[in-house]
Structure 1
């Protein structure tokens, strides 16, 4: 049996989620709360929970604050965030603070149940909609980098030198590695600065990172 504490400050949402979960014989909502503080209070009384299913926006103690507290006091109890917030900042922060899953509230009942069971076995989970967004972004990265390079009319050699510069190679080291003269390296460096209209090498590397040509 997977025992769940459901933390959600909206009664209608909380009741609806509880009904969906308890249709599955393997799931049981052992407690309901309106904020993170109540979750911690319940755990302190000795209630046994397999998973915490929590919203991010809650009064008194929100989901992110709850994650931080749980990481310190109950690190073995996984937390899945169930939220309407699709801002990347919240998603990244949630996982940095130890979330085991992130689900949007428009998720289907079947996927919600699957996510809970998946996390219960020690895995992490992000909902399908979020996974597809990340996949779309990854698929677009190569074309973005290619278009950026083409827009600035960079040669393959210039891009190669730009990568080496970002890795901290000196002109002498690049000269040895690429079997070209130091003077030629300096010429490539100046061409890159001229094409991007930046002031110096540090600004050039920053510009390249911000535009996705190097990581």
Structure 2
């Protein structure tokens, strides 16, 4: 198998960097790393890596600022953000800066390698905690926002309708909430069910719970 072009890891913990190299380094022809944001940006400008892995907390700047710079100068790069803590503010800032994925460092190796695989295939990958924070932040009015859930892209309005379906709202109630006609809501429901392969409401609820679109306590 031909290795991917190059990987850049920006993290001030060398033990973490070495762990990433052992885990996925053999998938890349070149491996670069930087211990702070400024050095990471310079390496990105020099090598234009295919994948960039950025820690949110860096000695000189935040991962958000690094992501914006790398995204601007290397638009083709796939960027994976990560952090030790499940912090809504940092996740949302990284999402807004343009990362293609986000994982928590406490997750197991399988979650991390899965995220890397998705990004290299051109897909986005956000761990469940990150996805929950992002979904809860999106409102139906932000319908230009797109979110990948289980390899399927949804608009903010579709996400909101899925959540309302799970709460067993009628088409009329959903229409009033998202400011659409009942007929349009029925079209949304039909399209959503087809795309996720759900034959009934139970199927929609199962999908939403499995992929973090809604939590059990919200039902």
Q: Which aligned segments of 4 or more residues in structure 1 are displaced greater than 3 angstroms?
A: 128-135, 141-146
Note the C-alpha offset of 1:105.
0.4
Corresponding residue of 1:10: 13
- 1:106-117 correspondence to structure 2 within 5 Å: 106-117=106-117
What is the rounded CA distance, in whole Å, between the counterparts of 1:129 and 1:84 in structure 2?
12
- 1:83 alignment counterpart: 83
Shift of 1:145: 7.6
**Inter-partner Cα distance in structure 2 for 1:100 and 1:132:** 15
- The unaligned stretches of length 5 or more in structure 2 are 136-148, 150-159, 180-217
Q: Structure 1 residue 43 and structure 2 residue 44: aligned?
A: yes
Q: Quote the RMSD (CA, aligned, Å).
A: 3.7
- Aligned with residue 22 of structure 2, among 13, 16, 19: 19
Contact between 2:54 and 2:81, CA under 8 Å: does it hold in 1? yes
Distance in 1 (alpha carbons) for counterparts of 2:61 and 2:96: 18
1: CA distance, partners of 2:129 / 2:116: 17
Contact 1:21 1:29 in 2 (8 A): no
Q: What's the TM-score once normalised by structure 2's chain length?
A: 0.57
Larger radius of gyration: 1
Number of aligned residues? 154
Q: Which secondary structure does the structure 2 equivalent of 1:61 belong to?
A: coil
Q: CA offsets, 1:66-111, max 9 Å, x none? A: 1111222111112101211312222122111100000110222223
In the alignment, structure 1 residue 93 sits paired with structure 2 residue 97: no
Do the aligned residues in 1 keep the contact of 2:86 with 2:129 (CA within 8 Å)? no
Distance in 2, Cα, partners of 1:101 & 1:33: 20
1:34 aligns to what? 35
Post-superposition shift, 1:26? 2.2
